[in-house]
Amino acid sequence: MLRLMIIYMVLFATIVLCMGSNKIDGETNIAPWVYEIKSRCCKEHRSLGRCLPGIDDNPDKNGKCWKYCVQECKRGGFCKRFGKKHICHCCCSVS
């Protein structure tokens, strides 16, 4: 019984420690297979402020999200919904 409790405690501690390393703050990579940290692609960019879908991600209207992302990401960017607001997300293709 004591062994089982120790195993459960170790598993619980491991899970708690791993949860802290998987934080999504908009400046780190969402996809774990993306290793290029300096790239704009595959990331949310909260620093651009609120993103208005259809306006800020529209290439015809030269939207701020699109213009920011298309400099490094071939597919540009779009306004991605997080909770109750939209944030600029650059697509996952490097030009």
pLDDT of residue 94: 54
- Segment 81-88 shows an average pLDDT of 92
pTM: 0.58
Residue spans of the domains in the chain: they are: 40-95
Region 77-87: mean pLDDT is: 92
Q: How many residues does this entry show for the chain?
A: 95
CB contact at 8 A, 94 and 72: yes
| Contacts (Cβ under 8 Å, ≥6 apart) of 61 | 55
Task: Using pLDDT thresholds of 50, 70 and 90, give the confidence band for residue 25.
Answer: very low
**In terms of Cα–Cα distance, which of 39, 34, 36, 49 is closest to 79?**
49
Q: Which two tokens stand for residue 45?
A: 């960019």
State the Cα–Cα distance between residues 51 and 32, nearest whole angstrom. 25
Q: Does the pLDDT at position 45 exceed 80? A: yes
pLDDT computed for residue 20 by the predictor: 54
